[in-house]
Chains A and B, each alone.
Chain A
Amino acid sequence: MAEKEKFLKEMGAKVGKIIDRPGRLYFEVANDDLRDVARYLFRTQGCRLSTATALETYHGLEVIYHFSHDATGQYFCPRVVLTDKANPRMNSLAPMIKGAEWIEREMAELLGIVFEGHPRPEPLLTKEHPRGLRQPLRLRRTP
């Protein structure tokens, strides 16, 4: 697919381990390169940010952004791996993409990831929870 090849040609130096499946390209990206890759996908290739997923693994935390290239149905999923479970921090995409604001707030409160540069770093879902939830999606990944 042309879009995928174009992306890999332009951004290949910043892309780590790739999982290539029909219509889906998952790839690892360093935190420092995330904004460049996202800018290229969003501004140059005209992708739409569908959403982002954060999850805890045995080795750390992962944040996967899902960019959809609507004209071709191709998904580009940059994956940032955070190894510091106690103090996970990464760059926010919300200053560049308004559609990332809510999902980053949600990931911050559900998994305790700090998004640096987020314009409004406050809880989204549990703001008025009587007891306040402490990272509810990180309760169970202890090896």
Chain B
Amino acid sequence: MSRTVIPIGPFHPLLEEAEYFRLTVDGETVTDVDLDIGYMHRGHEFISERKTFTQSIYLVERICGICSTSHPLACVHALEDVGGIEIPPRAAYIRTMVGELERIHSHLLWLGLAGHFIGYDTLWMWAWRYREPVLELFEAVSGNRNHYGMMRVGGVARDVSPDVIPRFLKILDEIEVKMEMVAKAAADDPVLRSRLKGVGVLSREAAVDYCAVGPTARASGVATDVRKDEPNDAYGLVDFKSIVLPNGDVYDKLVVRVLETFESVKIVRQCLEKLRTTPGPIRNDVKEIPAGEGIGRYEAPRGEVFHYIRTDGSNRPVRHKVRAPSYMNIPTCAASCKGIALADALITLAAVDPCYCCTERAVDIVDRRHKPLKLDLLELSRRKTELLRREIHG
């Protein structure tokens, strides 16, 4: 049996981040996937143990440029778990609002990238265009389009002025209308359906075995959602649905994210309405964190972010464990990529929404005779979509 190993990464001018995928293919079929990580390891846990708790919140905010609410929120949840600290209701609504706005912009970002990978550049441009107003909302709330610096132990750093709420609601209405248009266009498109349906299936059993989280698990029928399982902040006070679909393919992962975006808009709207009628402080004064241990988690756009903090009564953690959702989701590629066509590998790897999903643009293939070949996975993926389009539309 001929066996070809395709190394992707770890360093390439086209890669935005360093990682290394090793695809083993038999002809056009992927038979195995192996991956190495660690090229981006920055020792956050080590550094955090040398920072005060407040500094740690800023530090973990810089782990990821897209999840810059999720990590600080999980971190403050862990510290609040250690000290049994309550937060004011107004702070809870602000936290939830910021978290859900982040989910909207992250899912739109992924939707755009997924469109780009399969040759739907219009979808990419639409999705990123409609993501822009969300970043403007962030700027209005926190002063920053990213790295918001909103989370504090016992509450949040900044209030939301009542004057901006009508404008926020108007922008949300606009985003929802545009999202409905994109969702309808995507759902009605026969090419998109045939391109993504049944591709890169992650079975329910594999999702459980790999301990997958977030949309990756929910698209495989595993009902895990921290917002429902442990409703922190205002999640117990707002009405929303956790989207769970049964098939585990890339199409279901896309649908889960699109439907979650609508749910997030619904949550943000409820939070804004509540902020109009819920006066009060935005932060409880926390003097010290007692000795103990605590677990904090939050449902980031990619799944559960987990922080464990051990304290000794000083103002620094003894141990600060951080686990991002991609850490659990990326290994599932080994199950979902097995047996698929090489042209589907790109979108299947990207379907878990790894933090480095722009990876697979250029690869070097070395066949058994060590003869180097040049092949562009992105081009391969887009060519397949084009062939399907011609087949369906003539």
Residue-wise interface mask of B (14-47) relative to A, using a CB-CB cutoff of 8 A (1 in contact, 0 not) = 0000000000000000000000111101010110
Residue ranges of A at the interface with B (Cβ–Cβ < 8 Å): 19, 21, 23-24, 26, 48-51, 53, 55, 64, 66, 68, 70-73, 75, 77, 97-103, 123-129, 136-137
| B38 A70 Cβ-Cβ under 8 A | no
Residue-wise interface mask of B (315-340) relative to A, using a CB-CB cutoff of 8 A (1 in contact, 0 not) = 00011010100011001000000000
12 contacts between A and B (CB under 8 A): A24-B294, A48-B213, A51-B328, A53-B321, A70-B224, A77-B295, A99-B210, A99-B212, A99-B331, A100-B211, A128-B36, A129-B38
**Least CB separation from A69: chain B residue:** B229
Query: Are A53 and B308 also in contact (CB < 8 A) when A48-B211, A127-B38, A136-B46 are?
Result: yes
| A97 B41 Cβ-Cβ under 8 A | no
| A98 B43 Cβ-Cβ under 8 A | no
Residues of chain A contacted by B310 (CB below 8 angstroms): 55
Q: A48-B208, A50-B304, A68-B229 are in contact. List 18 more A-B contacts (CB 8 A).
A: A21-B81, A24-B295, A50-B306, A50-B323, A53-B319, A55-B318, A66-B306, A68-B304, A70-B229, A97-B209, A98-B209, A98-B210, A100-B211, A103-B327, A124-B37, A125-B38, A128-B38, A128-B39
| A48 B224 Cβ-Cβ under 8 A | yes
**Least CB separation from A47: chain B residue:** B211
| A137 B308 Cβ-Cβ under 8 A | no
Q: How far is the CA of A51 from the CA of B321 in the complex (A)?
A: 9
Residue ranges of B at the interface with A (Cβ–Cβ < 8 Å): 10, 36-39, 41, 43, 45-46, 81, 208-213, 223-224, 229-230, 293-295, 297, 304, 306, 308, 310, 318-319, 321, 323, 327-328, 331
**Least CB separation from B10: chain A residue:** A128
| B230 A64 Cβ-Cβ under 8 A | no
Smallest CB separation, A135 vs chain B (Å): 11
Query: Are A64 and B308 also in contact (CB < 8 A) when A51-B323, A55-B318 are?
Result: yes
Q: How far is the CA of A23 from the CA of B318 in the complex (A)?
A: 22
Query: Are A55 and B319 also in contact (CB < 8 A) when A124-B38, A126-B41 are?
Result: yes
Residues of chain A contacted by B208 (CB below 8 angstroms): 48
Q: How many A-B residue pairs have CB under 8 A?
A: 81
| A51 B306 Cβ-Cβ under 8 A | yes
Q: How far is the CA of A80 from the CA of B324 in the complex (A)?
A: 23
| B223 A70 Cβ-Cβ under 8 A | yes
Residues of chain A contacted by B327 (CB below 8 angstroms): 51, 102-103
Smallest CB separation, B293 vs chain A (Å): 7
Residues of chain B contacted by A48 (CB below 8 angstroms): 208, 211, 213, 224
Q: How far is the CA of A71 from the CA of B223 in the complex (A)?
A: 8
Residues of chain B contacted by A73 (CB below 8 angstroms): 229-230
**Least CB separation from B323: chain A residue:** A51
Query: Are A127 and B306 also in contact (CB < 8 A) when A53-B321, A97-B209 are?
Result: no
Q: How far is the CA of A51 from the CA of B210 in the complex (A)?
A: 11
Q: How far is the CA of A99 from the CA of B210 in the complex (A)?
A: 4
Q: How far is the CA of A136 from the CA of B43 in the complex (A)?
A: 9
Q: How far is the CA of A127 from the CA of B34 in the complex (A)?
A: 14
**Least CB separation from B322: chain A residue:** A51
Q: How far is the CA of A48 from the CA of B213 in the complex (A)?
A: 9
Residues of chain B contacted by A97 (CB below 8 angstroms): 209, 211
Residues of chain A contacted by B36 (CB below 8 angstroms): 127-128
| A26 B37 Cβ-Cβ under 8 A | no
Q: How far is the CA of A102 from the CA of B38 in the complex (A)?
A: 11
**Least CB separation from B41: chain A residue:** A125
Residues of chain A contacted by B294 (CB below 8 angstroms): 24
Q: How far is the CA of A51 from the CA of B229 in the complex (A)?
A: 17
Residues of chain A contacted by B308 (CB below 8 angstroms): 51, 53, 64, 66
| B209 A26 Cβ-Cβ under 8 A | no
* Most central of B10, B224, B319 by chain A CB within 10 Å: B319
Q: How far is the CA of A27 from the CA of B68 in the complex (A)?
A: 33
Smallest CB separation, B11 vs chain A (Å): 11
Smallest CB separation, B137 vs chain A (Å): 30
| A50 B211 Cβ-Cβ under 8 A | yes
Residues of chain B contacted by A75 (CB below 8 angstroms): 295
Contact of A23 among B37, B230, B323 (CB under 8 A): B230
Q: How far is the CA of A137 from the CA of B47 in the complex (A)?
A: 10
Q: How far is the CA of A66 from the CA of B306 in the complex (A)?
A: 10
Residues of chain B contacted by A72 (CB below 8 angstroms): 229
Q: How far is the CA of A137 from the CA of B328 in the complex (A)?
A: 22
Q: How far is the CA of A102 from the CA of B330 in the complex (A)?
A: 11
Q: How far is the CA of A68 from the CA of B308 in the complex (A)?
A: 13
Q: How far is the CA of A124 from the CA of B330 in the complex (A)?
A: 14
Residues of chain B contacted by A50 (CB below 8 angstroms): 211, 297, 304, 306, 323
Q: Which 8 A-B pairs have the closest CB atoms?
A: A99-B211, A125-B38, A73-B230, A51-B323, A53-B321, A55-B319, A125-B41, A73-B229
Q: How far is the CA of A64 from the CA of B209 in the complex (A)?
A: 19
Q: How far is the CA of A77 from the CA of B81 in the complex (A)?
A: 15
